[in-house]
Structure formats: C-alpha cells, structure tokens
C-alpha cells in the first residue's frame, strides 16, 4: 500500500493547523511564513496527495483512498496538537520531506 498520500495529507493538515492564529501563538516559532502562504502550500499538498492516490489506486478507488488517508492523517495530528503542538508540526515537516523524497525519481 502506498503511504505517500497519507504523508502528504498529514503535512497539508499540519500547514492548515499552523495557519490558525491560536496555534501560531502557542508554537512561538521565530520566522513563520504568512497565513496565505501556508494555506496555499496546504492546498498544493492536498492536490498532490489526491493525484498520488488516484495514480496509485486508480480512478475509481483513488478518491476513496484519498479521503480515507486524509481522515487517517487527521487523527494523529489532532492528538499530537492537543499535547505537543510543536512536535506535531515538526512531524508534519518530516512527513512532507519523506513524501516528497519518494516522488523524486531515482
């Protein structure tokens, strides 16, 4: 089973979470991109995740797999954000790096 759509979805949801003002205040990282930049990056990651799911699972099962993987990615993110918000966002950065690393041909 391909996990790139789940990793990309986790990274996109982490970007969306970081675009909220409450989480930006709680994380207190020095230089953060603007809210519009984070939301645009999250949309790009979600589109890439949908494309990978449709490419990996086919045109009929791909959208269903994409929705399932977004749901599966949201659960650990919400649980991590409630306890360790900075760790959840670092994990999102690592998930994006791993997923984008698998997309680059060797």
pLDDT tens digits, one per residue of 38-88: 899 999 999 999 999 999 999 999 999 999 999 999 999 999 888 888 888
Is the model's pLDDT at 32 over the cut of 90?
no
Average of per-residue pLDDT across 85-95:
84
pTM: 0.88
Closest by alpha carbon to 98, among 7, 6, 5? 7
Contact assessment for residue 2 and residue 51, using Cβ atoms and an 8 Å cutoff: no
As given in the structure block, the two tokens for residue 48 are 């890439």
- Could you state, in order of their start, the residue ranges of all structural domains in the chain? 4-103
Contact assessment for residue 23 and residue 95, using Cβ atoms and an 8 Å cutoff: no
């Amino acid at each position: 089973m391909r996990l790139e759509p789940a990793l990309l979805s986790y990274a996109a949801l982490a970007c969306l979470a970081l675009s909220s003002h409450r989480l930006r205040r709680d994380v207190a990282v020095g230089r953060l991109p603007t809210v519009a930049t984070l939301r645009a990056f999250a949309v790009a990651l979600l589109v890439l995740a949908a494309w990978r799911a449709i490419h990996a699972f086919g045109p009929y099962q791909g959208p269903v797999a994409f929705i399932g993987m977004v749901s599966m990615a949201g659960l650990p993110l919400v649980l991590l954000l409630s306890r360790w918000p900075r760790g959840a966002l670092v994990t999102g950065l690592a998930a994006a790096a791993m997923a984008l690393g698998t997309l680059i041909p060797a």
